[in-house]
Amino acid sequence: MIKFIHCADVHLGSKMEAKLPKHKVEERRVEVRKTFHRMVEYAKKEGVRAILLAGDVFDCDRPLKRDKEFFYDVVKGNPELDFLYLRGNHDSAESYEEDGLPNLKRFSEEWTGYDYGEVRVSGIEMSRENALSLYSTLQLDEKRKNIVMLHGQVSSTLGVDKINVHKLADKYIDYLALGHIHSYSENKLDDRGRYAFSGCLEGRGFDECGEKGFVLLEVDGEISSKFIPFAERTIEEYAVDITGTGKAYEAYRAVKNAVRFVPSNLYRILLTGEIAYENDALAADVESLLSGDCYFVSVKDKTLRKIERADYEGDISLRGEFIRQVMANPAWDDERKSRIITLGLKALENREVEG
């Protein structure tokens, strides 16, 4: 049996997108490096032969010295493991400056292959010059077990960072290891093979919620795959309806009843529903009350203002006229009217408006 790890989108040196305090941004950067190192230790323990890095090891073409040194030191310090590094759109110009590392296997703008017993791992780094031709130039042996590495999103069209999986069908691919999309997914390629995004190792922002990790591949006649959740922390988002609550503490209790907080994780809480009170500090107050329950929490107020038309019948202000005009519009349902009034009142009071 031969084992591989399919990993992608490590993004060493990422600036992080969760609006964390400065000290926690640095903590998370350290944790990304730590998780990569833990994955390498896992690979050695499990007898993995090679780690397939399907793009975006670094967050940019000119990574910080500490991130670059860290990666190449890990490669150098683990000579029993091969690291097959295919550059992605974020690190497409990374110079591969470290020479003399026989276990660092590189790719280029032409198809390159590496053999491991019955398995051949092939990959190509996409460019404007090869984005259209790479499908016709891929030549694989039907009798081998074929793993192919690419970086880009699945698309019905052709172009840089776009992968038309239909054009890769019937090419004798057993497993297509992809990078670029930061959530794990696996789908059928053809009658023989399948394609998968491993996702990223660590979520970096609230657009990267859910379990993160890598894929363990085992080749024993056939290629089997298993997603391994491995992140130091998980990022989660919940919408909590606080209709009927009064003030911030009741909203806080509604959140606590709806969400089971894990101390090590990061959370975004969206307060929804219709409330009868106005509290510009609602999100901040609830966020403060929740701050001790997890590593980091962000609360957004997405509630609608409950408006009683009778309360504004005699209001001769611009606010009253605005509310009456909105309430009288027959083309809008109650939810839309409530949303328009909520945003309009904030705008009239020169407060921050989120659509």
| 336-350 confidence digits (pLDDT tens) | 877 787 777 767 656
Mean pLDDT, to the nearest integer, of 71-98? 85
Flag whether pLDDT at 26 surpasses 80.
yes
Is the pLDDT assigned to residue 304 strictly greater than 70?
yes
Q: What DSSP designation does 169 have?
A: T
The residues that bridge with 163 in the sheet, in sequence order, are 154
Whether 151 and 180 have beta carbons less than 8 Å apart is answered as: yes
> What's this model's pTM, rounded to 2 decimal places?
0.86
The pLDDT of 292-315, averaged and rounded, is 80
Looking at residue 49, its pLDDT comes to 98
The helix (H) or strand (E) run that includes residue 38 is helix 22-45
Mean pLDDT of the chain: 90
| Residue the block writes with tokens 């980091």 | 296
Cα separation, 138 vs 165, in Å, equals 13
Fold of 2-229: Purple Acid Phosphatase; chain A, domain 2 (3.60.21)
Between 305 and 116, residue with greater pLDDT = 116
Question: Which range (14-18, 37-41, 114-118, 348-352) has the least confidence?
Answer: 348-352
Q: Where are the beta strands (DSSP E) in 221-295?
A: 222-229, 235-241, 266-272, 274-275
The residues of the chain that CATH labels 3.60.21.10 are 2-229
Q: What torsion do the CA atoms of 74, 76, 79, 84 make, to the nearest 10 degrees?
A: 70
Tell me phi and psi for residue 114, to 5 degrees: -130, 135
Is the pLDDT at 97 greater than 70? The verdict is no
pLDDT higher than threshold 70 for residue 354: no
Run of H or E residues at 73: helix 65-77
Q: State how far the Cα of 142 lies from the Cα of 184, in Å rounded to an integer.
A: 27
Taking only the tens place, the pLDDT of each residue in 215-273 is 999 999 899 999 999 999 999 999 999 998 878 999 999 999 999 999 999 999 999 99
What tokens does 333 get?
Answer: 């349902």
Strands 222-229 and 213-220: antiparallel
Residue 351 clears pLDDT 70, i.e. is over it: no
Task: Please give the single-letter amino acid code of residue 30.
Answer: V
pLDDT for 64 equals 81
DSSP state of 12: B
pLDDT range class, residue 62, cuts 50, 70, 90: confident
